[in-house]
Amino acid sequence: MNDNKTIEYFIYARKSSESEDRQVLSIDSQKNELQEIVKRNGLIITDAKQESHSAKAPGRPVFNELLDEIEKGKAQGIVVWNADRLSRNSVDTGRLIYMFDTGKLQEIVTPSQVFRNTPNDKFLLSLLCSTAKLDNDNKGINVKRGLKAKAELGIYPAEAPTGYINNKYAERGNKTVEVDTDRFDLVQKMFEMVLSQKYTVLQVLHIATSEWKFKTKRGKKLARSTWYRMLTNPVYAETFEYPLDSGNWHKAVHKPMVTDEQFDFLQIILGRKGKPKPKTHVFAFTGLMRCGECRAMITCEEKIKRQKNGNVHRYTYYHCTKRINPNCTQGSIEEADLKTEILEKVLRIKIPPELHDWGLKQVKRVNKNEAEFTNNILSSQQKAYKACLAQISELIDMRASKEITREELVEKKPKLEKERDRLKELLDGIDDRATKWHKQADDLFDFARDAAEEFNTGGLEKKRHILSRLGSNLILMDKKLTIDLEETLIPMIEAAKEAKKIHDTLEPVEGIDRTVQLESAYSQNPVMLLDQDSNLDKRIQSPLSYH
């Protein structure tokens, strides 16, 4: 596939058992498809490697072995089903790009396009791997968002504790906590006995397990550790905290076992502090940040100061909960200063509208190739699948009319059924990858363009969403906020810097639209990793076009 030098390739197939790969072809199906590409284009294959391992984090043994062998010169290219099979993390993506830079790696071939050692190809490869990571991260965020929404409705978003059951007939995601009629009264009696202070905690446990023969809903004897956890779990009271140690309290809709006051008294009996009262105010950034000194969650409180002249001032402060280390030395930060810290990081990724529109044009061009290829493959596989079903039906008819023997049926039918299953798996695995990738890229560019303005003008939920979207591991230390920036946003920092330079220095040319000038400047800027003079269309094409 390179006219100047013969390239040898590794075939690499990967599929993990995680939910991210449910719709991905099996390893055997990936290898079969890749062998077709190899045969069609006359590629020289050094070896074929496979593994069942997630690409979310570095450390895949077979993948690392493959890259080590390329470093040693045993091959110069990789044939793979899709870019996300290679990497969903920044470390492995960075190593692939660096190997391109050093010339050790010359080509990565997928069914829909070829990546070579050119600025644009490396940018697109990095973007594809990064958007795959973004997709995984967003799934986790969406799950957390759904649990948070349930908690805000007063529905405990976790497995029901002893004394309660989850409604097994409700739809997944909408299961509520209801009274366990077999155990609720007994557990409530156990709480009341501790509250009466006539029995110790262990005496109540002994009575329940030995005299009442109390069993959990899994049919096991109630353990001492479980009993203590029950006594300290606020879900049994009228309000519960979710997530734990977040400082976010919610009014429960399920029937409480004890009142909030009784729960507080239970904690005093156990030698613990009573749970803090639920907050009456909603704060934008609670539950997202941790203390840089002791790693406890950052909480928030509002203080009112009344001056002698009658003026009233309200101040909102964020500070460590000190739940992990009561002696934590970190002070508080006023909300206005925290917003300034956040906005400073949002502004680093801000891109102008012209760069936003130009970037999406590049994505659209690649997306078109992906969509056309997917449709062609889908049509071809559907025909093959229908033909295979017809062959199986014909074989059964031939046996029924005694045109073939039973032995011939036993010999031929399993082969056709295996082929039928393989084709069915291929059909299930081919989805709207191109459309999905385009939407993710669209969301990314929109966020980089609009986040700063929306943070300034949006409400609490919008501000909270923008902060959570910036990245992970949000640490507040010495009134300074640090964030592990979302991987897909990192290229936007350099792009934003270069765009500002271009906009500041671009001299207007009479008769030429400024947008046209800007797009030309973007295309010629090496930091943008785009170079239209090197013939974009010829370097991003399906292997089907090679003869």
Both tokens of 58, joined, read 């570095």
Helical pair 119-152 and 433-457, crossing angle rounded to 10 deg: 60
**Other beta carbons less than 10 A from residue 171's beta carbon:** 7
Which of 233-247, 423-437, 500-514 tops mean pLDDT? Answer: 500-514
Whether the per-residue pLDDT at 533 is higher than 50: the answer is no
pLDDT for res 279: 43
Q: CA torsion angle for 374, 375, 377, 379 (degrees, to 10)?
A: 160
Whether the per-residue pLDDT at 102 is higher than 70: the answer is yes
pLDDT for res 266: 84
Tokens 């965020």 sit on residue: 141
471 three-class SS: strand
3-state SS record for 245-281: CCCCEEECCCCCCCCHHHHHHHHHHCCCCCCCCCCCC
DSSP state of 339: H
pLDDT for res 295: 93
> Interior CA angle at 58 toward 56 and 62, to 5°?
105
Band (pLDDT 50/70/90 cuts) for residue 470 is very high
Whether the per-residue pLDDT at 513 is higher than 60: the answer is yes
pLDDT for res 546: 29
Q: CB of 480 within 8 A of CB of 296?
A: no
Whether the per-residue pLDDT at 544 is higher than 50: the answer is no
Give the integer Cα–Cα distance in Å for 51 and 49. 7
Both tokens of 142, joined, read 């969406």
- Mean pLDDT, residues 66-76: 93
Which of 20-29, 93-102, 131-140, 516-525 tops mean pLDDT? Answer: 93-102
Tokens 């991003």 sit on residue: 540
The DSSP secondary structure of 347-412, one letter per residue, reads HHT---HHHHHHHHHHHHHHHHHHHHHHHHHHHHHHHHHHHHHHHHHHHHHHHHTTSS-HHHHHHH
pLDDT for res 356: 87
pLDDT for res 430: 60
Sequence ranges of the domains in the chain = 8-111, 289-334
Give the integer Cα–Cα distance in Å for 342 and 298. 15
Give the integer Cα–Cα distance in Å for 366 and 373. 11
**Other beta carbons less than 10 A from residue 246's beta carbon:** 17
Spatial strand order of the sheet with 471-477 comes to: 289-291, 471-477, 480-485
Both tokens of 415, joined, read 């082969």
pLDDT digits (tens, 9 = 90+) for 187-246: 999 999 988 888 889 999 999 999 999 999 889 999 999 999 999 888 898 888 877 777
Tokens 């529109």 sit on residue: 357
- Mean pLDDT, residues 120-143: 78
pLDDT for res 88: 82
pLDDT for res 436: 65
Give the integer Cα–Cα distance in Å for 283 and 262. 28
> Which residues, in sequence order, are CB contacts of 74 under 8 Å at separation 6+?
8, 46
Closest C-alpha among 359, 346, 360, 356 to residue 454: 346
pLDDT for res 372: 63
CA 384 to chain CA centroid, Å, is 35
Q: CB of 449 within 8 A of CB of 356?
A: yes
pTM above 0.85, yes or no: no
pLDDT for res 313: 66
Band (pLDDT 50/70/90 cuts) for residue 529 is low
> Which residues, in sequence order, are CB contacts of 108 under 8 Å at separation 6+?
77, 78, 80, 83, 86, 96, 114, 115, 125
Q: 21-25, 69-73, 151-155: which range is least confident on average?
A: 21-25
Both tokens of 367, joined, read 């997306």
pLDDT for res 532: 38
The architecture that CATH gives domain 8-111 is 3-Layer(aba) Sandwich (3.40)
> Which residues, in sequence order, are CB contacts of 283 under 8 Å at separation 6+?
300, 316, 318, 335, 460
3-state percent breakdown (helix, strand, coil) of the chain, nearest 5? 55, 15, 35
Tokens 């009228």 sit on residue: 238
pLDDT for res 18: 54
Band (pLDDT 50/70/90 cuts) for residue 282 is low
Band (pLDDT 50/70/90 cuts) for residue 437 is low
pLDDT for res 507: 86
Pairing of strands 8-14, 44-51: parallel
Band (pLDDT 50/70/90 cuts) for residue 112 is confident
Q: CB of 107 within 8 A of CB of 76?
A: yes
The DSSP secondary structure of 516-535, one letter per residue, reads HHHHHHHHH-GGGT--GGGT
Closest C-alpha among 242, 236, 249, 306 to residue 278: 249
Pairing of strands 164-166, 107-109: unpaired
> Which residues, in sequence order, are CB contacts of 234 under 8 Å at separation 6+?
240, 241, 263, 275
311 three-class SS: coil
Between these two residues, 420 and 366, which has the higher pLDDT value? 420
pLDDT for res 541: 31
pLDDT for res 104: 93
Give the integer Cα–Cα distance in Å for 458 and 331. 28
pLDDT digits (tens, 9 = 90+) for 305-359: 766 654 556 788 999 999 899 999 999 999 999 999 999 999 999 999 998 888 8
Strand partners, 284: none
pLDDT digits (tens, 9 = 90+) for 239-279: 888 777 777 888 888 899 998 888 888 887 787 655 544 44
Band (pLDDT 50/70/90 cuts) for residue 292 is very high
> Which residues, in sequence order, are CB contacts of 287 under 8 Å at separation 6+?
243, 246, 247, 248, 297
What is the residue-averaged pLDDT of the chain?
Answer: 82
Is the N-terminal amide bond of 508 cis, ω within 30° of 0? no
pLDDT for res 236: 92
pLDDT for res 488: 83
Both tokens of 118, joined, read 């050119």
The DSSP secondary structure of 152-201, one letter per residue, reads HTT---SPPPTTEEE-TTSPTT-PPEEE-TTTHHHHHHHHHHHHHTSS-H
Which of 90-99, 149-158, 395-404 tops mean pLDDT? Answer: 90-99
Percent of the chain with pLDDT over 90: 33
Whether the per-residue pLDDT at 535 is higher than 50: the answer is no
pLDDT for res 139: 67
Radius of gyration of the chain (CA): 30
